């Protein structure tokens, strides 16, 4: 592990200088490093402890580390490979490459550490590296950067305060040791510490109430980096939540509240519910395709949180599975968007259309991605959603079940909009000569698509990783046998379902090929009440797509506005101070007299 971190650090410098020579070399370095790291991590046995640069015993490779590192490395490998072609559009390629490698270093370091301060250091490195990449995107990304750093800092510094509260009690920073002792503390202390530690995870994975940064940051960051932000960095937050929930004996620490679910988990599940609601409803409104999927990350973060918080055999496994599903799906979607932007130059849905004719591979990637996000078999997305649903029903949490269901249906609504608006429909005049994405970009998209379908049909490998995590933390592990997934309420055989889908698909394909095809006519070749059409761009059904639904919640309160109002109030106080500072010396002396009087008064 230590050698991996060292290589990544050197790789960042090497990548920077190589990118100055030729910008395509930088992503190659990133790709090579991620493939090497993937190989190493895959082979590494869990449970090893290592030292880092002379500080003993701070790195530990748990099953959770292995699982999340593999996910991150898959995302980064695809990102790296994709960038080899995309980097020609980046604003500052050398810095971009170096900082991406540093981000990978930070996240892997977070996954490997077993010492709170080391975890904090790597966390901050990842935040810092991604912080300087974000403003390389669009114009509005500069303001987005400030949102990112402030909310991320709020989470991180609450976390730091919690670490120090623990340290002052136990004089140790080791995560696993603290987990053994914390059971015997007072209720207030337990609540405070756990909430403080979880705050960093909540801020990073974009759960309500710290979700406001996601839209602007993911939407405005450089296109391929949004894939890393959405597919991987928020998973760092989910890792922290999973770690805290499993290392600290939460079930014993907090009182039981509802049918076997303890009260902390209940609070977290409700935060997840609200995130799902907000994410889904806001996503339906968006016109910019990247901001739309950013909101879907909020909703999916809610799913993961709900899954993890149930601490139930099936639910926890479902939450972990959803991490990998959302990582793959978000990466696929953002990479396909990056390909679209690379060729057409815009991210607004109502300016695009009909790209299925020109960019079929991109279309298929996006399609499989949204099928996975919506949770439809035979993709892997279905399995995780099914597991979460099962565990919620088995605990009797029907209100949550309702929210999760709404989220699922809503997710199909909002992912359909870019599909229809960008890929289906009529091709706009200006996009007539758009070519498919370069081959280099297509390869990672195809590989990710294949992985999603593969793990949807044969989820054994992922389930082995997940059950290892559960066993290591002493939880009862999820049961599966071959392709049959078993829960207390029923079972699901992925192979059977896949065969059914495949048969149906084949029949439909055969029918399509044999039957005569319809005639293709361009849009201008029709009449409308006797008028000829000349400007057919107006007839593309992409604007105000869901206006009938948006009307229902039109006047909703906006959290971004609330946060901005707080900021403005603070600025108002600042303005008052500044006003005082611009006064004359007489005013200064007046204040001195006040302070002197105060000191004298307090003394007597």
Binding site for another protein (CB under 8 A): 117, 120-121, 124-125, 128, 131, 135, 142, 145-146, 149-150, 153-154, 157-158, 160-161, 164-165, 167-168, 567, 570-571, 573-575, 577-578, 580-596, 598-600, 602-603
Distance of CA 567 to the CA centre of its chain: 26
Nearer to another protein, 8 or 158 (CB): 158
Min. distance of Cβ 273 from another protein in angstroms? 28
Min. distance of Cβ 174 from another protein in angstroms? 15
Nearer to another protein, 21 or 567 (CB): 567
Count of C-beta atoms within a 10 Å radius of residue 587: 12
**Locus of tokens 């593969």:** 454
Min. distance of Cβ 123 from another protein in angstroms? 9
Instruction: Provide the β-strand partners of residue 55.
Output: 52
Closest by Cα among 99, 325, 127 to 213: 127
Nearer to another protein, 170 or 546 (CB): 170
Q: How far apart are CA 429 and CA 208, in angstroms?
A: 42
Nearer to another protein, 127 or 276 (CB): 127
Q: How far apart are CA 523 and CA 143, in angstroms?
A: 41
Min. distance of Cβ 143 from another protein in angstroms? 8
Min. distance of Cβ 242 from another protein in angstroms? 23
Q: How far apart are CA 547 and CA 554, in angstroms?
A: 10
Give burial (CB, 10 Å; 0-12/13-18/19+) of 589. Answer: exposed
Min. distance of Cβ 55 from another protein in angstroms? 12
Min. distance of Cβ 262 from another protein in angstroms? 27
246 to 10, 175, 371, 474: CA distances (angstroms): 34, 11, 31, 9
Min. distance of Cβ 108 from another protein in angstroms? 15
| Token pair listed for 388 | 């979460």
Nearer to another protein, 177 or 578 (CB): 578
Min. distance of Cβ 603 from another protein in angstroms? 7
Nearer to another protein, 121 or 267 (CB): 121
Nearer to another protein, 187 or 594 (CB): 594
Q: How far from each other are the two terminal CA atoms of the chain, in whole angstroms? A: 62
Cα angle for residues 199, 205, 207 (degrees, 5° grid): 70
The answer to whether the CB of 364 falls within 8 A of the CB of 374 is: no
Instruction: Provide the β-strand partners of residue 49.
Output: 60
> What DSSP state is assigned to residue 311?
-
Q: How far apart are CA 22 and CA 482, in angstroms?
A: 48
Host H or E run for residue 485: strand 484-487
Nearer to another protein, 252 or 586 (CB): 586
Q: How far apart are CA 407 and CA 277, in angstroms?
A: 7
Nearer to another protein, 92 or 357 (CB): 92
């Amino acid at each position: 592990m230590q050698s991996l971190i060292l290589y990544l650090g050197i790789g960042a410098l090497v990548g920077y200088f190589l990118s100055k020579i030729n910008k395509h070399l930088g992503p190659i370095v990133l790709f090579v490093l991620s493939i090497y790291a993937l190989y190493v991590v895959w082979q590494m046995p869990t449970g090893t402890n290592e030292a880092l640069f002379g500080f003993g015993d701070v790195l530990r490779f748990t099953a959770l580390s292995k699982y999340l590192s593999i996910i991150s490395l898959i995302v980064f490998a695809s990102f790296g490979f994709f960038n080899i072609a995309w980097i020609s559009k980046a604003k500052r390629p050398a810095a971009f490459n170096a900082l991406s490698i540093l981000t990978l270093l930070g996240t892997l370091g977070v996954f490997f550490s077993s010492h709170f301060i080391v975890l904090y250091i790597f966390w901050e490195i990842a935040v810092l590296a991604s912080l300087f990449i974000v403003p390389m995107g669009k114009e509005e990304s500069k303001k987005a950067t400030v949102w990112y750093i402030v909310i991320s800092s709020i989470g991180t510094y609450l976390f730091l305060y919690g670490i120090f509260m623990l340290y002052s009690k136990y004089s140790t920073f080791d995560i696993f040791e603290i987990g053994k002792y914390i059971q015997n503390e007072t209720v207030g202390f337990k609540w405070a510490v756990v909430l403080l530690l979880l705050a960093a995870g909540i801020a990073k994975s974009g759960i309500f109430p710290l979700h406001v940064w996601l839209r602007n940051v993911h939407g405005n960051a450089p296109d391929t980096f949004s894939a890393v932000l959405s597919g991987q960095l928020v998973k760092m937050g989910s890792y922290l939540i999973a770690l805290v929930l499993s290392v600290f004996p939460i079930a014993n620490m907090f009182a039981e509240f509802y049918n076997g679910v303890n009260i902390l988990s209940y609070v977290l599940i409700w935060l997840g519910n609200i995130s799902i609601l907000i994410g889904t409803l806001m996503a339906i409104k968006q016109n910019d395709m990247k901001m739309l999927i950013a909101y879907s990350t909020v909703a999916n973060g809610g799913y993961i949180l709900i899954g993890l918080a149930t601490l139930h055999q099936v639910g926890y496994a479902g939450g972990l599975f959803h991490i990998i599903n959302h990582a793959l799906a978000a990466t696929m979607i953002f990479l396909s968007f990056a390909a679209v932007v690379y060729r057409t130059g815009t991210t607004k849905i109502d300016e695009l259309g009909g790209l299925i004719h020109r960019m079929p591979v991109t279309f298929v990637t996006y399609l499989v991605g949204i099928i996975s996000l919506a949770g439809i078999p035979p993709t892997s997305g279905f399995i995780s959603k099914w597991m979460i649903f099962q565990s919620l029903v088995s605990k009797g949490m029907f209100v949550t079940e309702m929210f999760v269901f709404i989220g699922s249906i809503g997710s199909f609504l909002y992912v359909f909009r870019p599909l229809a608006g960008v890929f289906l429909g009529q091709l706009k005049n200006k996009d007539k000569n758009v070519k498919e994405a370069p081959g280099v970009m297509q390869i990672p998209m195809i590989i990710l698509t294949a992985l999603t379908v593969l793990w949807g049909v044969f989820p054994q490998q992922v389930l082995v990783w997940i059950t290892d995590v559960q066993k290591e933390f002493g939880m009862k592990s999820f049961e599966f046998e071959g392709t049959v997934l078993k829960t207390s309420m029923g079972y699901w055989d992925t192979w059977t379902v896949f065969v059914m889908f495949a048969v149906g698909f084949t029949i439909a394909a055969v029918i399509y090929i044999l039957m005569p095809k319809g005639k293709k006519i361009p849009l201008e070749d029709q009449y409308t009440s006797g008028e000829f059409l000349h400007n057919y761009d107006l007839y593309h059904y992409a604007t105000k797509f869901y206006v009938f639904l948006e009307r229902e919640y039109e006047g909703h309160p906006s959290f971004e506005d609330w946060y901005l109002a707080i900021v403005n109030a603070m600025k108002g106080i600042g303005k008052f101070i500044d006003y005082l500072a611009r006064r004359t010396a007489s005013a200064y002396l007046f204040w001195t007299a006040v302070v002197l009087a105060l000191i004298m008064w307090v003394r007597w």
